[in-house]
Amino acid sequence: MNTNNWMRKWWWKVLAIMLMLFTIVIGMMATVPALPILHETIRNLYYHVPMWFGMTLMLLFGMIFSIKFLRNSRMEDDIIAASFTKVGLLFGCCGITTGMIWAQSTWGVFWNNDPKENAAAVGLLLYFAYFVLRNSMDDMDKRARVSAVANIIFYFTFIPIIFIVPRLTDSLHPGNGGNPGFNAYDLDSNMRMVFYPAVIGWTLFGTWITTVISRTEIVNRELHFSMNNISMNNSSKQLDSKF
Amino acid sequence: MKKIISFLLLQIITVTAFAQRPDTNVEMADLMRSNGKIYVVIAVLLTIFAGLLLFLISQELRLKRMEKKLNNHISNQNNNQ
């Protein structure tokens, strides 16, 4: 029973590297629409927006692993869920910082109190609260159970906050205040051909970072348990199956 | 499975001819492109990315050794009991 086998595979990591190399090179080279105000900063679509898409997907995977944990109580699933959420939060912090830099150049100030900016900030605080909650408990079982439930609740709070609320009002962000999508920007399909690989590349890359973080944490736990002569999951006596 | 997924994903990045930029008065970094200076920026970005990648890969390889060591340790412990 080697359920975490996908973590040790190399092919999807190579794929992530290829997609990201493509994004970096073609993202800088390809022709982009010449628009006033934006000028060359339109290329940030290839670098800033995938952060948010990647974050949403990382948080989604984290939530899925939280559900898996609640279904089968495997400690690995709890660790993986928390690692995905951690990387999601990292992407979110990068997204909000790059967004501020971009806002300074196009909208004039770093922080516009734009509905989407505020919503993203609230969403990030929600996930900071998740880690405060998680790390406030010493009992590992209790921590895993409570943070799994919290993760599921936070995800379904976060999605409406970041995707629906900004659309109910006027926002500087394209595609908000009524009309969906970012057609205002990438009318030409050339931009999509760099943007979608960027999203997939960052998602795979984030997953890769997640596997390294969670495997480190699993080794750390195993070490702790083996020193105290107990096994990590009561059900799995044969530890060979894990590695 | 992996071949199919890789193929489909790499299919997306097949770039067809990029259209010429229409004549506009919007100022773009065309000079950077025409004199080739944009390649310097790309080289810098690629170097940073390569550095991060090497770090991540070396970390993963180190982790692999640790897992192996720990696993041997645990199975020894189980045999002794």
Choose from A202, A219, A231 for mutation: most chain B CBs within 10 A.
A219
pLDDT of A235 strictly over 50: no
Residue A4 in any domain: the answer is no
pLDDT tens-digit series, residues B10-61: 776 665 545 455 556 777 888 877 787 888 889 999 999 999 999 999 999 9
pTM of the model: 0.84
Residue B14 in any domain: the answer is no
Residue B62 in any domain: the answer is yes
- Of residues A220, A121, A211, A106, the one with CA closest to residue A162: A121
Which of B2, B16, B28 lies closest to A40 in CB terms?
A: B28
Query: Which domain, by its residues, includes A34?
Result: 10-231
Interface ipTM = 0.78
Residue A69 in any domain: the answer is yes
Please report residues of A whose CB lies closer than 8 A to that of B12. Answer: 193, 196-197, 200
Residue A243 in any domain: the answer is no
String of b and e for A69-79 (b: at least 16 CB within 10 Å)?
A: bbeebbbbbbb
Query: Which domain, by its residues, includes B38?
Result: 33-81
Residue A56 in any domain: the answer is yes
pLDDT at residue number B12: 67
Residue A128 in any domain: the answer is yes
Domain total in chain A: 1
Average pLDDT in chain A: 86
Residue B64 in any domain: the answer is yes
B26 touches chain A (CB under 8 A): yes
The total of other beta-carbon atoms located within 10 Å of residue B28's CB is 18
B30 touches chain A (CB under 8 A): no
Residue A191 in any domain: the answer is yes
Residue B49 in any domain: the answer is yes
B52 touches chain A (CB under 8 A): no
Residue A106 in any domain: the answer is yes
Question: Mind spelling out the 3-state secondary structure of chain B?
Answer: CHHHHHHHHHHHCCCCCCCCCCCCCCCCCHHHHHCCCHHHHHHHHHHHHHHHHHHHHHHHHHHHHHHHHHHHHHHHHHHHC
pLDDT of B8 strictly over 80: no
Do residue B12 and residue A39 have CB atoms under 8 angstroms apart?
no
The total of other beta-carbon atoms located within 10 Å of residue B16's CB is 8
Residue A242 in any domain: the answer is no
pLDDT tens-digit series, residues A155-210: 999 999 988 888 777 777 776 655 445 555 545 677 888 889 999 999 999 999 99
Which A-chain residues 31-90 have CB contacts (< 8 A) with chain B? 31-36, 39-40
Residue B45 in any domain: the answer is yes
